Structure 1
Amino acid sequence: MGRNNKGDIESGFRENIYINNNARDQLYPTMLESPQLRWAFIRKVYAILCMQMLLTTAVAATVVFVRPIPNFVTHTTSGIVVYIFLCLLPFILLIPLYYFHKSHPLNLLLLTLFTITIAFAVGLACAFTKGRIILEATILTSVVVFGLTLYTFWAVKRGKDFTFLGPFLFASLLVLLVFGLIQIFLPLGKISVMVYSGLAALIFCGFIVFDTNNMIKRYNYDDYIWAAVSLYLDVVNLFMVLVTFFNAAD
């Protein structure tokens, strides 16, 4: 009888330890799924995102330092056509990437092509920008992304939910697109560009919080590619609008 009581006590003690550890690993209070599986998903998403950022840096640096590339794009008619095509290609690739983001290895191939096309556009933007401005935008983007990511994990852990931001961010993005088109055909000067870039930076900060919240709570385990794409676009867009802002302010 004594041995049975001792065994029950040890079993209950181990169960309590498991429950406490499991509760500590939970990302938010109402979490019903396995924290270990969700953490594995998050690590996979950030691993893919890091690979995308490394590829983007490599491609963009090649475009910046191999001067014949930006010169060809900006000084020849065929180069302009290629540039327009490469600007439209990411939007074209997003369609098959969305429909096949769960199909391995096709999803990785499409993701690589998508990342390269985005990186080429980033490289062209940086090729005609001062190095100081690129460095400032890079540092600020890194600090903001890191800080907002930590804040989102901290807030979600305490029961916050940022899903409500979705409609506001979508509406804001539409306003940005319309205003951007107006700027192309009717330039409004440096001040308007700075205002536009500042508002765009705030909106993409909101997208970082929103998409991080979705990664923690909403995405299925097979949606790791699409989760990485969402965060990648947030980071790249934030960097680009900061470059635009510093260029206008320079």
Structure 2
Amino acid sequence: MTKGKLSVTNKTNHGSTAETMPPAPPTYEEATAEGSPSYSGAYPGDGEMLTEFNWDDKNIRRVFIRKVYAILMIQLLVTLAIVSVFTFCDPVREYIQAHPGWYWVSYAVFFVTYLTLSLCSGPRRQFPWNLIMLTIFTLSLSYMTGMLASYYNTKSVVLCLGITALVCLSVTVLSFQTKFDITSCQGVLFVFSMTMLIGGLVLAFVLPMGYVPWLHAVYAALGAILFTMFLAFDTQLLMGNKRYALSPEEYIFATLNIYTDIIYIFSFFLQLSGTERN
């Protein structure tokens, strides 16, 4: 098909050979004949995790979304079970509160697995190690969430679980239905995140000198808003019909992000409206 485009015409002018004409650029069909870069990493370095939207096969996208939400439901059920045990079972609650060292162990495991799954594409894509690491991550974060919930009244925990479920469901539905492209707002989320980070560092030094309820409540409210925005952002990355989309190979990364967003939303709601146990 490109024979005519790539042919070289040799013309002589007073016995000398003329310069060859440069080949014509390939057509769109020829350039994309070997597959879309959004699928399998045709870009150098095995592709980019965050690419401009270029999905043409809706079936791949649907399978990708179903896989992410299936894993997410299992994660949330495990977390709900651990939170329920830590909240309703008095012997377990007393044990974990009497041994805070386990919290710091789970935090270290959470931090290491989160960085590994977020930054290393090899472990994140290699089956079954990606699922094993995701399971360890889920158990560690569930333990931390359950221990946090154990310090609050049972009714407060149940109420915050319900509020979190309603908020997450509403944000998910809105993200699927709205035409507004949240994936193009990375700058706003980055500035908001840096503000929260600086505010958290200030609170870490202020709170030991004296508890300020209204300041803690403001920080918790802003944290809930921030991670609600992150949930909408990550949901639209999962959908793939906006400016940016996650590669279908990154189902572990997508699940990791959405699960973390939901857990942080619950934690901030608990700090904002929860009543501590006597």
TM-score (structure 1 length as normaliser): 0.79
> CA offsets, 1:91-138, max 9 Å, x none?
111122232111110000000000000000111111111112112211
Q: Which of these residues, 213, 217, 226, is aligned with residue 203 of structure 1?
A: 226
Shift of 1:171: 2.5
Is 1:162–1:210's contact at 8 Å kept on the other side of the alignment?
yes
Give matches, 1:1-250, under 5 Å.
32-75=55-98, 79-98=99-118, 99=120, 100-155=123-178, 158=179, 160-187=180-207, 188-217=211-240, 218-247=245-274
Q: Name the CA distance, whole Å, in 1 between partners of 2:275 and 2:197.
A: 19
* Superposed CA RMSD: 2.1
Aligned with 2:124: secondary structure? coil
Measure the CA separation in 1 of the matches of 2:191 and 2:81: 34
Post-superposition Cα deviations, 1:137-193, rounded to whole Å, max 9, x if no partner, equal: 1111111111111111111xx4x3212222221222232233223323311511111
Q: Name the CA distance, whole Å, in 2 between partners of 1:74 and 1:135.
A: 20
Deviation of 1:212 (Å): 0.6
Is 1:194–1:249's contact at 8 Å kept on the other side of the alignment? Answer: no
**Partner SS, residue 221 of structure 1:** coil
Distance in structure 1 (CA, Å) of the matches to 2:217 and 2:276 = 7
Shift of 1:58: 1.6
CA contact (8 A) 2:86 2:93 kept: yes
**206-215 vs 133-142, which moves further:** 133-142
**Alpha carbons 2:153, 2:276 under 8 Å: kept:** no
Paired with 1:228 and 1:219, the residues of 2 have a C-alpha distance of 11
- The Cα shift of 1:248 comes to 6.8
Residue identity (%):
25
5+ residue gaps, structure 2, are 1-52
Q: Is 1:201–1:242's contact at 8 Å kept on the other side of the alignment?
A: yes
Query: Secondary structure of the residue that 2:181 maps to in structure 1?
Result: coil
Q: CA deviation at 1:71?
A: 2.9
Q: Which protein has the bigger helix share? A: 1
Structure 1, gaps ≥5 residues long? 1-29
Give the Å deviation of 1:53: 0.2
Q: Which moved more, 1:94-103 or 1:111-120?
A: 94-103
Distance in 2 between residues matched to 1:64 and 1:72, nearest whole Å: 12
**What is the CA-CA distance between 1:83 and the residue it aligns to?**
1.8
